[in-house]
Amino acid sequence: METTKPYIDMLNINQKTTKELYYKQVLTILSHMPPFNTLRRAELDVLALLMFYYNELVDKYKNVAKANSILFDKTYRSEIIDEIMVNKEIDDNAYEKAYAKFANILSSFRRKGFIVKGKNSSDTLNPKFIVNPEKVKSIKFNFILKNQ
């Protein structure tokens, strides 16, 4: 006699994505767990953009230090701010507001450990929080139920 379990013992979900969307999807999943659960929606969006650009720069230059240097350069910040402002209402002070918001988010990342000081005391993304779509193809959760 064949016995079957009356429940699912493993859940496997395939998700189609793009390289740009991957980071938002991963961070949305992780946003319910520490330390990502300390981030607001806008911070998650900016972190997704930073991870995307970081990985693009590492692929291009094959140098982590150079990638971080460029990522936190004022010119590159402008590109990220432009990306944040896409589909937003534009008024006379829109760019200044977006720049201030971006600066506040970077300060929050420093306080929360997502940005750390690297060599030469320059800002770097904390490597323990960087995901790369070429390396991280799946996320596995092991739920450990505590006895109550």
pLDDT in tens, 83-99: 877 656 666 677 788 88
CA distance 115 to 121: 12
Task: Return the structure tokens found at 110.
Answer: 């420093």
CB burial of residue 105 (10 Å; 0-12, 13-18, 19+):
buried
1: number of Cβ within 10 Å:
2
pLDDT in tens, 101-130: 899 999 999 999 999 998 777 899 999 999
CA distance 8 to 71: 44
Average pLDDT over residues 26-42: 94
Q: What is the pLDDT of residue 96?
A: 82
CA distance 21 to 15: 11
